Structure 1
């Protein structure tokens, strides 16, 4: 791919395609990955992301001297949706880490993002690469009742379809997400919303996605993430929202401080993915892990 910038110049960047949170290229969440974006301008990165049409793409550059002392395992990473740059993206982080591991081997990486420094560790088991990112310090905040009502109106959800045990909150672990818990799996599965209305609310609240959840058991959840601000109806697997949800669940006491949560996402889109969220007692940071795989292209 050699996209043109707004100025008409052509970029020689190699654009890779990987899926995150699945070892099956047909599952999880696809992301574009550019491992050497040093020569790209902002408009070129946005053009690549828009042409791919994935919810996000990751663009890496190796900083001089590196965060890792010039080890070749440290990178500055920027993330673009088809419509705009976003401060952090979990699934594109996993995709980029897996792409790097295929070239330089498993091990530790350091990503400098707009949201902060994100360590990533890649392991390999039986030929499957798995990346674990450690979030920036999260927070959980309240949300005004009128904003919850507006979100529910845009979703077409009556308030009675919410789970009272998991109240609405805004959660952050690199990006802001509004967490809304459905009272049933059927409610979560039936997602058809007012794109423009939800997009306007999300811009006003500086949200990246809505994290819609249904609790299947003590540590197992099904989740969906509308993403109109990125120009995408729904994100198939959302690592940043998973990290934020981990912080939310811990803050509300919905799970123990030392927990491993399993999040199922993408089933309703035909792209099933599996996200593992680890909480450690005394450590505010959230760890999110999942498998990744290259998406074959016709030329492969």
Structure 2
């Protein structure tokens, strides 16, 4: 019987961050068993390490389906391993590609994304209607784009914190919209200052209304900012406060590497959240 660990990622408080299931001994589990465990755990994702070696294969399941990459579950898994074997670098083989993760002595993990890309968002009338937003709600300085760094996310920026706080969307319609466009989440953003952003991530594809901390979207957002010409090396993302699970995500952009680095803490959850 596989042992399921529970961690909160992108926080130092078990009551904050994004809970993730972690199974370190999933080599004997088939797809149906992993999907059943993820559904029973009920978190937005559970990570399953399916092998040993210098490059460790990992798979991610939401309660509804497998996803190619999950940032917060990667951070949680890296910290869980570091607690057992010590800090250092781990390389995960994900369906999106190899993802190195370094865990320091303070059990803070930094993942390096796969090669990212950014593309036009296309016509927005349907998604704005689903979100109950208007074109006037958008921040013209941060234009809509689709960004990828392991999974695809639609980035929409709003001009006000109040618009971000008032999240009320049609779950079934957004699910259909996202499945049709191969989107994992929407990255809804408000810029507080040049290097500080507040974000929310609807996640109906995973069977949940909203993700409280989304590492894959944070990496994609870093690629998005670079595409827009942002040159700040470090960006801070606040997520989850509107859900009562505040999360803190650090995004690093290096001039000599197109990949994006995403950092955060993770701590064990002693009882299911």
Q: Does 1:132 align with 2:115?
A: no
Query: How many Å apart are 1:149 and its aligned residue?
Result: 1.3
1:293 corresponds to 2:267: yes
Give the Cα–Cα distance (whole angstroms) in 1 for the partners of residues 260 and 192 of structure 2.
21
1:29-40 to 2 correspondence within 5 Å? 29-40=18-29
- Whether 1:248 aligns to 2:229 is no
Cα distance, 1:108 vs structure 2: 0.5
Q: Count residues in correspondence.
A: 272
Give the alignment's TM-score, normalised by structure 2: 0.98
TM-score normalized with structure 1 length: 0.89
CA distance in structure 1 between the partners assigned to 2:271 and 2:56 by the alignment: 26
Conserved 8 A contact 2:22-2:47: yes
Match of 1:271 among 245, 248, 251: 245
- Measured against aligned partners, the alpha-carbon deviations of 1:140-164 in whole angstroms (never above 9, x if no partner) come to 000211xx11111110011100000
1:6 corresponding residue in structure 2: none
Give me the whole-angstrom Cα distance separating, in 2, the residues matched to 1:250 and 1:149: 26
Q: 1:45 aligns with which of 27, 34, 44?
A: 34
Alignment equivalent of 1:223, drawn from 196, 199, 224: 199
Question: Does residue 185 in structure 1 map to residue 161 in structure 2?
Answer: yes
Deviation at 1:37, TM superposition (A): 0.2
- Equivalent residue of 2:193, what SS? coil
Q: Distance in 2 between matches of 1:85 and 1:217?
A: 35
| 2:77 aligned partner | 96
- Alignment partner of 1:200 out of 163, 176, 185: 176
After superposition, the CA RMSD in angstroms is: 0.9
What are structure 2's unaligned runs of at least 5 residues? none
Measured against aligned partners, the alpha-carbon deviations of 1:201-231 in whole angstroms (never above 9, x if no partner) come to 1001100000000000010000000000110
| Misfit runs of 4+, over 6 Å | none
Map 1:56-135 onto structure 2 (within 5 A): 56-63=45-52, 66=53, 68=54, 74-125=55-106, 129-135=107-113
Match of 1:235 in 2: 211
Which residue of the other structure, out of 121, 144, 153, is the alignment partner of 1:143? Answer: 121
**CA distance, structure 2, for counterparts of residue 143 and residue 61 of structure 1:** 35
Distance of 1:246 and 1:143 partners within structure 2: 16
- Residue 14 of structure 1 pairs with residue 3 of structure 2: yes
Contact 2:28/2:50 (CA < 8 Å) preserved in 1?
Answer: no
3-state SS in 2 of match to 1:88: coil
Distance in 2, matches of 1:149 and 1:26, equals 37
**Structure number with larger C-alpha Rg:** 1
1:157 partnered with 2:149: no
State the distance in 1 between where 2:201 and 2:225 align: 17
